[in-house]
């Protein structure tokens, strides 16, 4: 086998679209649960919104179960609470579903707020799972944690704005449109900081090349275009802005899905090695050829 094949950076193959599905659905579901508790009231039932959030989280966990090579051993995930953020995510999940079910059944504020708190904890665990993978430069960056958390909240707010606008509940839809604006600005600023953080000698060039391919759909369309749409919607009469808020909410959520899929599947290159000198078999001395950075 050639030496170059042993040391060069490669895209990891252990996590594919199923792993991305967990982070996409989990982030959207937790964000939806949080904002559902904020907008629910006498004129807007909490149950359907919270139920949709729990279903999204369940779909994400099912995607992870599909990825397990030996599904019957999936219970082993609960055995490493002291060291594994994946275990902590798995421990929070049943508490979240129990609290969410009680919140939907009783409609009580304590259960609703407990569900929102557990949803945030679940989202935090997911962000730390990514950051704990130190062998993947695109995942181990410190700003990956706030980026994933903010992305999940933005996805949930976008989906809720979409649902409220389609349902014609315009007071709450306008409120969600206003809440979505700072989240979008925070996400794009974190993305810029995260992208700049990866401009380092230890980051494989392939990672930066992949991130550059989503600059237009993610930043130009998924952020600044959506911000302009929301500002225009807030300046229009309530009845005329519904379709604009719905489209903006969908684009905001889709931008987060694109970001997560790209980072988890497409930009997930391993570190690789950069050796200043390579040994040559039988030569007795190292080769003078300088090996390029992965």
- Asked whether residue 242 carries a pLDDT value surpassing 80, the answer given is yes
262 DSSP 8-state letter: I
With vertex at residue 196, the alpha carbon angle to CA 85 and CA 126, rounded to the nearest 5 degrees, is 15
The H helix count followed by the E strand count for the chain is: 11, 0
* Average predicted confidence (pLDDT) for the chain: 88
The more confidently predicted of residues 163 and 134 is: 163
Residue 170: predicted pLDDT = 87
- The pTM for the full model equals 0.88
Of 8-12, 115-119, 185-189, minimum mean pLDDT range: 8-12
pLDDT of residue 276: 58
Three-state DSSP at 234 gives helix
pLDDT of residue 72: 63
284 has pLDDT over 70:
no
* More confident site: 55 or 203: 55
pLDDT range class, residue 292, cuts 50, 70, 90: very low
pLDDT score, position 1: 42
How confident is the model over 93-105, as pLDDT tens digits? Answer: 999 999 999 999 9
Tens-digit pLDDT profile for residues 16-49 = 999 999 999 999 999 999 999 988 876 688 999 9
Q: How far apart are CA 245 and CA 158, in angstroms?
A: 9
Asked if the 3-266 domain carries CATH number 1.20.1250.20, the reply is: no
């Amino acid at each position: 086998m050639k030496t170059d094949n042993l040391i060069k950076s490669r895209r990891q193959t252990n996590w594919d679209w199923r792993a991305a599905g967990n982070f996409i659905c989990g982030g959207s579901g937790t964000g939806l649960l949080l904002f559902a508790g904020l907008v629910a009231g006498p004129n807007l039932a909490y149950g359907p919104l919270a139920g949709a959030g729990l279903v999204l989280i369940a779909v994400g966990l099912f995607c992870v179960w599909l990825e397990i090579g030996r599904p019957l051993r999936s219970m082993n995930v609960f055995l490493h609470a002291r060291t594994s953020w994946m275990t902590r995510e798995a421990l929070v999940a049943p508490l979240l579903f129990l609290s969410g079910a009680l919140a939907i059944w009783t409609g009580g504020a304590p259960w609703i707020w407990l569900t929102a708190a557990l949803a945030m904890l679940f989202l935090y665990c997911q962000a730390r799972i990514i950051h704990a993978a130190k062998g993947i430069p695109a995942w181990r960056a410190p700003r990956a944690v706030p980026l994933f958390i903010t992305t999940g909240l933005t996805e949930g707010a976008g989906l809720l704005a979409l649902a409220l606008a389609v349902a014609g509940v315009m007071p709450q839809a306008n409120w969600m449109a206003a809440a979505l604006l700072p989240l979008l600005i925070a996400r794009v600023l974190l993305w810029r900081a995260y992208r700049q953080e990866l401009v380092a000698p230890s980051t494989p060039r392939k990672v930066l090349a992949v991130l550059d391919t989503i600059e237009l759909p993610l930043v130009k369309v998924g952020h600044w275009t959506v911000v302009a749409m929301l500002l225009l919607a807030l300046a229009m009469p309530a009845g005329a802005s519904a379709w604009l808020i719905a489209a903006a909410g969908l684009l905001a959520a889709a931008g987060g899905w694109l970001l997560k899929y790209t980072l988890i599947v497409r930009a997930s290159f391993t570190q690789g090695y950069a050796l200043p000198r390579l040994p040559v078999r039988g030569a007795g001395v190292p080769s003078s050829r300088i090996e390029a950075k992965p």
